[in-house]
Structure 1
């Protein structure tokens, strides 16, 4: 059986309970769109900033390397990734999320939402 390819959702496996046990953060190498509420929960933005100029906030977060873009039409911020595609908050050695308790809603709801709802891009252990 072919190994799932994160860039080809058609190769992903149906999600089953327990699949995340022993996973090495495969989904944590996909781009993550987040909302202002996620930025506040992560502690990288304040409620006051959320009430002010979002474009100014986005500019600051881009300069700090936390996000790569902001789309005002959808109000989504694109979270930065490391050079190897890992999420900014994924520990390179342990492959665990360093902000798990504060993680964005997109991460909390995956794989219910995403490119192929109900499917996981997990590796061959799946």
Structure 2
């Protein structure tokens, strides 16, 4: 049975795991809702006044612990992050989109093989 790519995440692919991903979800824009309990540091207002998870200069969520590649505010993460299901439709779709995009951005380098 093919996997469904609906955003409702009813079908989970058990072979998809965060440990073999480049934390693609941690590069997405995450709007912090008023009912979220995110600490002040990781949340920031954008140019339009929306409160969003702050991102570092290279685009990663500032709450991402880069040593462990896990969320440093996991218990207080925004509802948007809580609803993001590992292996769900949206997870699989953005991973695939990232793979296609990243593949296009890798520079082609010719290496002299000494032949």
TM-score, normalised with respect to structure 1 = 0.51
Task: Establish whether residue 68 from structure 1 lines up as the match of residue 39 from structure 2.
Answer: no
Unaligned runs of 5+ in 1: 1-13, 45-63
By how many angstroms is 1:25 displaced?
1.4
Higher relative contact order (CA 8 A, sep 6+): 1
By how many angstroms is 1:31 displaced?
1.0
Residue-pair matches, total = 83
Name 2:53's counterpart in structure 1.
79
Deviations 1:79-103 (A, max 9, x none): 2111111111001222111011111
Give the 3-state SS of the residue equivalent to 2:81 in structure 1.
helix
Unaligned runs of 5+ in 2: 1-10, 100-115
Name 1:60's counterpart in structure 2.
none
Q: CA RMSD in A?
A: 3.2
TM-score, normalised with respect to structure 2 = 0.55
